[in-house]
Amino acid sequence: MNPIYVSRRRTDAIIRLLCLAAAGIGLLWLALILFSLLWNGLGGLNLAVFTEMTPPPGSTTGGLANAIAGSLILTTIGVAIGAPLGLLAGTWLAEYGRHDRLATVIRFINDILLSAPSIIIGLFIYGLIVVPMGGFSGLAGALALAVIVIPVVVRTTENMLTLVPNTLREASSALGMPRSLVIRRIAYRAARAGIITGVLLATARVAGETAPLLFTALSNQFWSLDITTTMANLPVTINNFVQSPYAYWKQLAWAGALIITFAVLALNIAARVIGGERTTR
Amino acid sequence: MTMAATLAPQREEAMDRAGALGAFRRSDAIFYWLTRIAALTVLGILGGIILSLVIGAWPAINEFGLGFLTTQRWAPQLEPTPVMGALGPIYGTLLTSFIAMLIAVPIGLGVAIFLTEFCPMSLRRPVALAIELLAGIPSIIYGMWGFFVLGPFLADTFQPFMIATFGQIPLIGAIFAGPPSQLSLFNASLVLAIMILPFITAISRDVFATVPPVLKEAAYGVGCTTWEVVRSVVIPYTSVGVVGGVMLALGRALGETMAVTFIIGNSFKITGSIFAPGTTISAAIASEFAESAGLHQSGLILLGLLLFVLTFAVLAAARLMLMRLELKQGK
């Protein structure tokens, strides 16, 4: 055979092998993480984790009940504030501002906020809420999460509304529907699956966020539903327990990590099932 | 329908119509302004972040000035005047991100090429889905794994090997100098690399998918091998997008906190060895901020401001590049 063909084929085979190796390495690392998470987390997972409070130093009993409740509250408030704001902002970008110079600027800034370091959001809320209020609070933590939710929901809402065919809007306008009704009754309904996907993805994103809670919600050793004071939450509890010298705390940290990972994966899978393949990052 | 309704006077009907139209107009205007105000909130958040960082950092800017950028010493408790410099955290941030990109970019692109060109059709969706799901795992999980599993492993096996092999060579030996450690810049870089790998893969897979099939088919038609198609058609067509995606990942790596905080060792000293402990801007803020006060806190906020400026520049450049690819597609 022509030597040029041989060398071209050889190059192709080598690259093919390298790409296969890359895929193998990528999946191997990630499988290793999941494996050690299951290995260490399942051992520590029992009923007490869900029913008992976080233990004091040195104790060998106790669970994560207050941290789990706190995380649920913070995430719920954060999404409840951030998602409607993001939805409305995304609506303006897709429905009113399509050809507006301002919309281009907002879209650009939103994309940057989407990947801005979350610890910076924590510093922002610290200056905005914690300092004026005179102390760390669950409310500050929830607001920090809301600031992270907004750009995610803006992005998905805008993308999904843009996918709604214009003929639908024209048909309903021709029937005499005012613009706001066309958006609320027709466009939202057509884009519903995608919008719900966006909200679920945003929830998944903030459910494990740690950095912005470190100096906003802080943590709390006791059961507390009061959002004006420090509030226990899973990520910060894990953060504190990982660096502790107590074996039982480390075991609880693994259990907490497993719970968070499962919750986040479940949300992500639910989002994909509802939204089909049209999801965005 | 009753007789009374059908016989209602025409004037009243006209009034109803005018009233209904007025109500429509009002609700239209209310809805428009609600959405517009929400959209402006996005700008408000950016403005608020910049403003609150500058206000918080102001005492430190006044005290240290430009010297902050060139000072290595970090002694916030020093009496009578504390000394704080950002050189250590900046060095750590840039070095860990650089090493992480060095590892993750070739592997991530390799996986993306594998997924779009070489992978059997039936495997494509499961593998892509697995990688996308793993991109969603919270960073604290990566950090924890790095601390408990990867750190001890590297300190026991990989680092002693590297130190024994390269440690004695002049010039590059210094990079691998020092005793093996569970807390080091290299360990943090590796965790970062693992964390951004699914991100790079997912985004470059999306970018590669924008190549029109006709172009690839034409190249195959004249007898190109798969690699030649990738090198001469796919990569040139998507180069702007790939660079944009890589920079987006760089933006994430620069600002990542929880994946590195546990494992980097929190040392502000620059030694030149990648196996020595170090710190990054975000790790320094995460570990010291809650217990800080006064000038110390202001210094940490100034670090945050530096990080924000750095990531903003990188992310803005990345987005501009990705926008250019979208324009090319005529979206």
Task: Please tell me the pTM assigned to this model.
Answer: 0.90
A279 or A267: which carries more pLDDT confidence?
A: A267
A chain contacts of residue B202, beta-carbon cutoff 8 Å: 281
Q: Give mean pLDDT, residues B274-297.
A: 90
Total domains in the fold of chain A: 1
Structure tokens at B120: 């059997």
C-alpha distance from B330 to closest chain A C-alpha (Å): 15
Question: A27 lies in a domain?
Answer: no
Check residue B99 and give its pLDDT. Answer: 95
Q: Are B277 and B264 in contact (CB under 8 A)?
A: yes
Q: Are A191 and A163 in contact (CB under 8 A)?
A: yes
C-alpha distance from B114 to closest chain A C-alpha (Å): 5
b/e per residue, A133-166, with b = 16+ CB within 10 A? eeebbbbbbbbbbbbbbbbbbbbbbbbbbbebee
Check residue A281 and give its pLDDT. Answer: 40
Contact A208 B137 (CB under 8 A): yes
With 80 as the cut, is the pLDDT of residue B177 above it?
A: no
Check residue A29 and give its pLDDT. Answer: 85
B chain contacts of residue A183, beta-carbon cutoff 8 Å: 31
Nearest by CB to residue A117, choosing from B127, B138, B307, is B307
Looking up residue A144, the CATH number of its domain turns out to be 1.10.3720.10
Q: Which H, E and C letters describe chain A, residue by residue?
A: CCHHHHHHHHHHHHHHHHHHHHHHHHHHHHHHHHHHHHHHHHHHCCHHHHHCCCCCCCCCCCCCHHHHHHHHHHHHHHHHHHHHHHHHHHHHHHHHCCCCHHHHHHHHHHHHHHCCCHHHHHHHHHHHHHHHHCCCCHHHHHHHHHHHHHHHHHHHHHHHHHHCCHHHHHHHHHCCCCHHHHHHHHHHHHCHHHHHHHHHHHHHHHHCCCHHHCCCCCCCCCCCCCCCCCCCCHHHHHHHHHCCCCHHHHHHHHHHHHHHHHHHHHHHHHHHHHHCCCCCC
Of the listed ranges B4-8, B85-89, B187-191, B273-277, the one predicted with least confidence: B4-8
Contact B141 A204 (CB under 8 A): no
Question: A95 lies in a domain?
Answer: yes
Question: A33 lies in a domain?
Answer: no
Question: A230 lies in a domain?
Answer: yes
Check residue B58 and give its pLDDT. Answer: 93
User: pLDDT tens, A190-199?
Assistant: 999 999 999 9
**Domain B74-328: which topology?**
MetI-like fold (1.10.3720)
Q: Classify residue B278 by its DSSP letter.
A: B
A chain contacts of residue B285, beta-carbon cutoff 8 Å: 119, 123
Of the listed ranges A244-248, B162-166, B247-251, the one predicted with least confidence: B162-166
**How large is the ipTM?**
0.90
C-alpha distance from A140 to closest chain B C-alpha (Å): 14
Question: A183 lies in a domain?
Answer: yes
Closest residue on chain A to B311 (Cα): A116
Range of the domain at A163: 50-280
Confidence of residue A84 (pLDDT cuts 50, 70, 90): very high
Q: Give mean pLDDT, residues B182-203.
A: 91
Question: A178 lies in a domain?
Answer: yes
